[in-house]
């Protein structure tokens, strides 16, 4: 029997827990989101994040900037947010419009407010096996979802398809630290199917609908679908669900799998950064 990894209900539990913990705080955590341009998907994501932040009792602010904003202007906003004691977490919604140096923008965030864990300080600490201030939300959510279903990571053959800085790369580092044997695939990988068929856990973070079908999956493997692909028939993951469901022992749905976990971890990271900053003030 294939088990569906229900990210939505686990995310709801995490969110309810954060809500309860926030009620007892005299000061509320505050999340700031910088939204550049008018990409409709980004606008929906940001609205959703803000709605959830308000639901758990956080304060939040969205700073909308036009797509022709200068790099200097975005940086000025970040410097102000870095200095503002009332702001605990800063998120720059990606992707940024073409022509803006994403690396420079993300690097400007104070690591202690870097809620996505994308600065080289936090990412570097993650890579070295030290505690970052925050782990990137999607990888953290994926690992938490696997743990919630007692899916063993140690000693497993895991393939992570996609090597982005926001999903594939940090996820592969976390899996390695959990003593898995990790293969990372990218668009240059040859014989992908041979590699996936040897994997106990397959994570697809590619961004192509129906990229992984049942023929890529060994019987009993765990399949995590990170993809969010907007198509004419609605939002699809990377995984051809019906054929993979036949083979997998566990599988994430799209929607309702990794997506909700990402938002839950954003809120958890905001809460944790708030706690770290408060503890430093009280020292």
Catalytic residue numbers read 49, 93, 116
The rounded distance, in Å, linking the Cα atoms of 35 and 50 is 12
The neighbour count for residue 264, using CB atoms within 10 Å, is 28
Comparison of 153 and 205: residue with beta carbon closer to ligand NAP: 205
Q: How far is the CB of 230 from ligand NAP (least distance, A)?
A: 9
How does DSSP classify residue 33? E
Q: Where are the alpha helices (DSSP H) in 24-93?
A: 40-55, 71-83
Assess contact for 34 and 77: CB atoms under 8 A: yes
Rounded to the nearest angstrom, the gap between the alpha carbon of residue 6 and the centroid of all alpha carbons in its chain is: 16
Comparison of 34 and 206: residue with beta carbon closer to ligand NAP: 206
Comparison of 256 and 275: residue with beta carbon closer to ligand NAP: 256
> Is the bond leading into 124 cis (omega within 30 degrees of zero)?
no
Query: What is the contact surface with ligand NAP in residues (CB under 6 A)?
Result: 138, 161-164, 166-168, 185-189, 192, 205-207, 226-229, 258-259, 262
Contacts of 270 (CB under 8 A, 6+ apart): 29, 31, 53, 58, 88, 89, 115
**Please, is 130 exposed, middle or buried when counting C-beta atoms within 10 Å of its C-beta (0-12, 13-18, 19+)?**
exposed
Q: How far is the CB of 45 from ligand NAP (least distance, A)?
A: 9
Comparison of 119 and 138: residue with beta carbon closer to ligand NAP: 138
The rounded distance, in Å, linking the Cα atoms of 225 and 207 is 10
Comparison of 155 and 186: residue with beta carbon closer to ligand NAP: 186
The rounded distance, in Å, linking the Cα atoms of 91 and 118 is 10
Q: How far is the CB of 228 from ligand NAP (least distance, A)?
A: 4
Comparison of 86 and 198: residue with beta carbon closer to ligand NAP: 198
Q: How far is the CB of 18 from ligand NAP (least distance, A)?
A: 18
Q: How far is the CB of 278 from ligand NAP (least distance, A)?
A: 28
The rounded distance, in Å, linking the Cα atoms of 194 and 124 is 32
Q: How far is the CB of 165 from ligand NAP (least distance, A)?
A: 8
Residue (of 183, 259, 179, 180) closest to 226 by Cα position: 259
SS3 9: helix
């Amino acid at each position: 029997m294939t088990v569906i990894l229900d990210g939505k209900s686990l995310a709801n539990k995490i969110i309810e827990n954060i809500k309860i913990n926030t009620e007892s705080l005299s000061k509320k955590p505050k999340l700031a989101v910088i939204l550049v341009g008018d990409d409709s998907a980004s606008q929906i994501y940001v609205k959703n994040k803000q709605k959830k932040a308000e639901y758990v009792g956080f304060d939040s602010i969205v700073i909308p900037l036009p797509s022709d904003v200068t790099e200097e202007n975005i940086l000025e906003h970040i410097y102000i947010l870095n200095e503002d004691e009332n702001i605990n977490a800063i998120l720059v919604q990606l992707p940024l419009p073409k022509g803006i140096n994403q690396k420079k923008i993300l690097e400007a965030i104070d690591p202690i407010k870097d809620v996505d864990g994308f600065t080289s300080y936090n990412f570097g600490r993650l890579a070295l096996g030290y505690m970052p201030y925050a782990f990137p939300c999607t990888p953290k959510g994926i690992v938490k979802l696997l743990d919630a279903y007692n899916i063993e990571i140690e000693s497993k053959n895991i393939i992570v398809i996609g090597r982005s800085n926001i999903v594939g790369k940090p996820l592969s580092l976390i899996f390695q630290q959990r003593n898995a044997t990790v293969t990372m695939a990218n668009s240059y990988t040859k014989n992908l199917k041979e590699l996936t068929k040897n994997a106990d856990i397959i994570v697809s973070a590619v961004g192509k609908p129906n990229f992984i079908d049942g023929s890529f999956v060994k019987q009993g493997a765990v399949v995590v679908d990170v993809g969010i692909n907007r198509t004419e028939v609605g939002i699809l993951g990377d995984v051809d669900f019906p054929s993979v469901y036949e083979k997998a022992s566990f599988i994430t749905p799209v929607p309702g799998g990794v997506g909700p976990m990402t938002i839950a971890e954003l809120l958890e990271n905001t809460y944790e950064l708030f706690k770290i900053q408060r503890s430093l003030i009280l020292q």
